[in-house]
Structure 1
């Protein structure tokens, strides 16, 4: 009876510990199935825009691997895949394949805006690549997209950019928004 109880306990503990891994996998499958418009492509990267679909942006922002922090304490330095500040929210999440990085931006404006930015890819090999990203939105909408790498040996992706609202206001992505991606 003790062996059966111990085996059952170990099995239940395994399910509890493995459950978050399966949650991440389902999120990644949903993200991988998204279709968007290819806005730039070359031998190394492909940049795809999802437009201003709030559901897609929320899926990126609410990803289980996304570490969120409020912009309250500027003295703490830590990696952030997502950040919320006075200017809005921004997220960047690496896919499990190591070849894709998803991004999402939601400026804190009710005016139509144009977001222009860059996903800075910094590989562990020392190679650097900047992927131009952007989109237009309005009335509290979000813009989102992905950058697909044809090959890599791991590194870090940084999200940078500014949303320019029709009323003349500017909303910058917080400088600490970045995510590591694994080699494939």
Structure 2
């Protein structure tokens, strides 16, 4: 569990610029504008992190290919197909960081951005929660562990995607 949670409520980041690459901006094309706004906001809030868009809207063929490779759960459905999901990566130098702990600040920032924009936010690290805005004061690790435990109780393999964010059911 992290020793301290970062909150953004008292930070005035309005003058900060977001730091997304041109490639990331291109990957936001076709994404619901509210979710894209959250990504841009979190890039400014967490300016010490190199946050980039790994995946935005995808085609059916791209999704089918990912499913065949084991990188998508459902063969015919993904909110990525409709522009309601985005996968974000944190880079250290040229290396994508895959350690879950590094994503805690990103998740907290996305929650705060979703509060500002006014959308429900689902996170792939705790997909059992339809709106992460309702988790104030929670540790991300605890929420992920609750999901993993629930999946194990059902004899299902957990599918944890700490990089995945989508608009919650409206």
TM-score normalized by the length of structure 2: 0.31
Higher helix share: 2
Structure in which a larger fraction of residues adopt strand: 1
Task: Output the TM-score relative to the length of structure 1.
Answer: 0.29
Instruction: Please say which structure displays the higher CA radius of gyration.
Output: 1
